[in-house]
Amino acid sequence: MSASETIDKYHADTAAPAASAGWRLPWRPSPGAVALFLIAIPISIPILVVLFHLIAPDIEVWNHLRRTRLGEYVSHSLWLMVGVGIGVLLIGIPTAWLTARYDFFAKRTLVWGLMLPLAMPAYIVAYAYIGVMDFSGPLQSLIRDLTGWGFGDYWFPQIKSLTGAVFILSMVFYPYVYLLARSAFLEQSASLYEVAQLSRGAQRNPLSRLINSGFMRVGLPLARPAIVAGLMLALMETLADYGTVHAFGLTTLTTGIFRSWYGLGQIEAAAQLAGVLTIFVLALLVLERTSRRRAAYHHPRAIRPIEPIKLTGWRSLGAFTVCLLPILFGFLIPVLQLGSWSLINSERFLDQNFIRLALNTLGLAAAAALLIVSIAIAIVALKRARPSRLRQAITDIATMGYAIPGAVIAVGVFISLGYFDNAIDGWMRDSFGISTGLLLSGTLVALLFAYAVRFMSLGVFSVDAGMARLRPTMLDAARALGHSPSSVLFRVTLPMIRRSLLTAGLLVFVEVLKELPATLVLRPFNFNTLAVRTFELANDEMLIEAAIPALTIVVIGLLPVILLSRAMTKGNNAGC
């Protein structure tokens, strides 16, 4: 339902009877709802602009896309999604089950270690593996040294392929499934597993015993909604990826957007491809919500926590190996490769240019975090001031950007601000004979606007979670003492949720730090960030030179992972 339809429905449901004397509006929106609406609409405009280009496409451009590369873009994107979907399930579910259900060697370390790939942007992992598996890399060099073979004398897997992209993205995105599935397994009751164990014991056939095991009959079905949610997050990140598929030379919808825009100069074609990509994302969101709505699994009221089963011997070694491999391939190998490259070039690249680049990145990320958290406070405060379906719907509109790929948002922001700049310039020319040129396009304002569209949900959800934990009686007491709503917000609410505000700011800060597609498109002329510089150097085959900015992003990206690990340790201490 669109924003206007939502407002009309709300007004129809809540309209007051017209007075007998004189005419007046059948409804009167509150100032808070109007303010919330005025905040949410600008944030949603770029996405609506992209969808409009899909609903009302340029027929000539659309036919050209359909005759040429559209089928290739769609098929490669679908195959990538299928491969990554299978990969994250095969990695995320077993590791979540083992760490939630069993106790084995180094389990506490592996529990948080399995989250480390979240700190690794996929395109940086791709560059590291290109260096590791390249002909001149350490693996093939070792093979030639040991065997005396030369070029063409042996077969070696090609990392720059669809299979290689599936491997990289699976290693980076499996933590989404792991985190949600593990939380679901830890919340299940031990009594359910005891019943399943009795049923399993009556089976003599090993296959029947597996099918009737606690994992197949209890754990997996009860965790299905959480697993599906993690899978959808991984698939949305896969669709949004640009750096990895570009590095591997794959043609997907994301690379098609950049090729149409930069290579061919066809912004309309880029907008229509962005619309197709948005439809893919919306389909995933609908699938995830449908899966949750159809789930009919319920826990008993009295949940007895699961006592982890102690593993010893080869079983403990096997569980340790299964959990160690994703950490090794998803984090340790890329970091070691980046670290070795960084040591080679530390004296050459830790100079004034790197410092300027780091300051640009940190300043931009800090400004975006401050802006988004400030807007999120306003949105959540207005939504909670007088809760209603209307205000919740408007809040949902303002936070829908996180599911949309950065390339799509970049297209929407570019077109939206272009319309605005041209309208202002045309009016100034007609009225005063003065040309204002481009006021917002190509400036930091455009970039910050794109970040607000993309990451507003991180701020809103964190702030809303913090306010939800406050006792209403404390706020009522402040109002009873004569404080206005704004005074209660600034003097009571915000000081009490400062940790949630810090969390929101940190999450936005790191996401902006890693964001590549939107920054690459909308950054001002001669303005670079660590992510863009890493991409440029790697794109020019200067992988060693790209190591220091890449490793800097990874190190800073560890901050939210550490924060998340501490939160999970406190929340699930018994299960760890």
What mean pLDDT, rounded, does the chain reach? 79
Say if 31 falls within a structural domain.
no
Domain range for residue 483? 350-539
For residue 351, is pLDDT > 50?
A: yes
Same domain, 406 and 494: yes
What is the torsion angle, in degrees rounded to the nearest 10, for the CA atoms of residue 542, residue 545, residue 548 and residue 553? Answer: -30
C-beta separation of 435 from 281 below 8 A? no
C-beta separation of 163 from 83 below 8 A? yes
Greater confidence (66 vs 535) lies with 535
Same domain, 356 and 477: yes
Structure tokens given for 189? 């009751």
Same domain, 504 and 360: yes
**Per-residue model confidence as pLDDT tens digits over 116-138:** 898 888 889 999 998 888 877 78
**Per-residue model confidence as pLDDT tens digits over 127-173:** 999 888 887 778 888 888 888 787 777 788 888 889 999 999 999 99
Distance CA 347, CA 350 (A): 6
Same domain, 412 and 516: yes
Give the side-chain half-sphere CA count within 13 A for 394. Answer: 28
For the ranges 67-71, 121-125, 352-356, the maximum mean pLDDT occurs at 121-125
Find the range with the poorest average confidence among 172-181, 221-230, 245-254, 312-321. Answer: 221-230
Same domain, 420 and 282: no
Q: How many domains does the chain have?
A: 2
Indicate the helix (H) or strand (E) that contains 103: strand 102-103
Q: Which of 287, 305, 329 is the last residue of a domain?
A: 287
Same domain, 269 and 402: no
Same domain, 362 and 458: yes
pLDDT of residue 400: 79
E strand map for 205-342? 309-310
% of the chain with per-residue pLDDT over 90: 13
Greater confidence (202 vs 317) lies with 317
State the pTM of this model.
0.80
Greater confidence (466 vs 512) lies with 512
Say if 133 falls within a structural domain.
no
Say if 462 falls within a structural domain.
yes
C-beta separation of 321 from 209 below 8 A? no
Same domain, 391 and 523: yes
Distance CA 52, CA 414 (A): 14
For residue 231, is pLDDT > 50?
A: yes
> SS3 sequence, 179-191?
HHHHHHHHCCCHH
Say if 119 falls within a structural domain.
no
Say if 511 falls within a structural domain.
yes
For residue 305, is pLDDT > 80?
A: no
Helix, strand or coil for residue 309?
Answer: strand
Say if 202 falls within a structural domain.
no
Buried b (16+ CB within 10 A) or exposed e, 5-35: ebbeebeeeeeeeeeeeeeeeeeebeebbeb
For residue 309, is pLDDT > 70?
A: yes
Distance CA 467, CA 497 (A): 7
Q: Which residue has the tokens 């036919």?
A: 63
Same domain, 381 and 529: yes
Query: What number of H helices and E strands is found in the chain?
Result: 28, 2
Query: What is the average per-residue pLDDT within 189-211?
Result: 55
292 band by pLDDT with thresholds 50, 70 and 90: low
Say if 174 falls within a structural domain.
no
Same domain, 381 and 502: yes
C-beta separation of 127 from 540 below 8 A? no
Q: Which of 287, 305, 337 is the last residue of a domain?
A: 287
pLDDT of residue 301: 46
CATH number at residue 447: 1.10.3720.10
Question: How many Cβ atoms from other residues are within 10 Å of residue 265's Cβ?
Answer: 9
For residue 4, is pLDDT > 50?
A: no
C-beta separation of 135 from 155 below 8 A? no
pLDDT of residue 262: 67
For residue 13, is pLDDT > 60?
A: no
Say if 469 falls within a structural domain.
yes
Same domain, 371 and 496: yes
**Per-residue model confidence as pLDDT tens digits over 364-405:** 999 999 999 999 888 888 888 787 888 888 888 888 787 788
Query: What is the average per-residue pLDDT within 246-263?
Result: 82
pLDDT of residue 18: 41
Neighbour-count burial of 482, counting CB atoms closer than 10 A to its CB (0-12 exposed, 13-18 middle, 19+ buried): exposed
Same domain, 263 and 363: no
Distance CA 460, CA 40 (A): 12
